């Protein structure tokens, strides 16, 4: 679950600030074709927005830390970069700009050693 007091994406095509509507739009994407995390639900708790996603294996940050920040060969980097670009392209198609891209937010479904 992600809990936030601010959105981590910017909607250029949908003018309102209804996070649950936005999350539903994203949930309509085919997760297998777009490399997006599977969205389950959104709700408000006090002044926080809570987004519930599928449970994933580990973040890119955790993997890099586990591997002691060693340089990775291009054949390991290329598939991750390609999947990230596919996901960003899917968001672009919805008029969404993700504003918090960082290794902590790049997640692996099934990590391979």
Question: Among all residues, which ones are annotated catalytic?
Answer: 100
Which class for 27: exposed (0-12), middle (13-18), buried (19 or more C-beta within 10 A)?
middle
HEC string of 42-95 equals EEEECCEEEEEECCCCEEHHHHHHHCCCCCCCHHHHHHHHHHHHHHHHHHHHCC
Q: Which residues are 18's β-sheet partners?
A: none
């Amino acid at each position: 679950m992600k809990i936030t007091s601010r959105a981590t994406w910017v909607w250029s095509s949908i003018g309102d600030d209804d996070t649950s509507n936005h999350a539903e739009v994203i949930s309509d994407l085919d997760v297998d074709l777009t490399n997006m995390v599977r969205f389950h639900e959104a709700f408000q708790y006090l002044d926080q927005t809570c987004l519930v996603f599928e449970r994933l294996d580990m973040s890119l940050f955790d993997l890099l830390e586990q591997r002691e920040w060693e340089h990775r060969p291009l054949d390991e980097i290329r598939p991750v970069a390609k999947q990230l670009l596919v996901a960003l392209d899917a968001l672009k198609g919805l008029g969404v700009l993700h504003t918090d891209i960082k290794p902590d937010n790049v997640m692996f479904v099934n990590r391979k050693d």
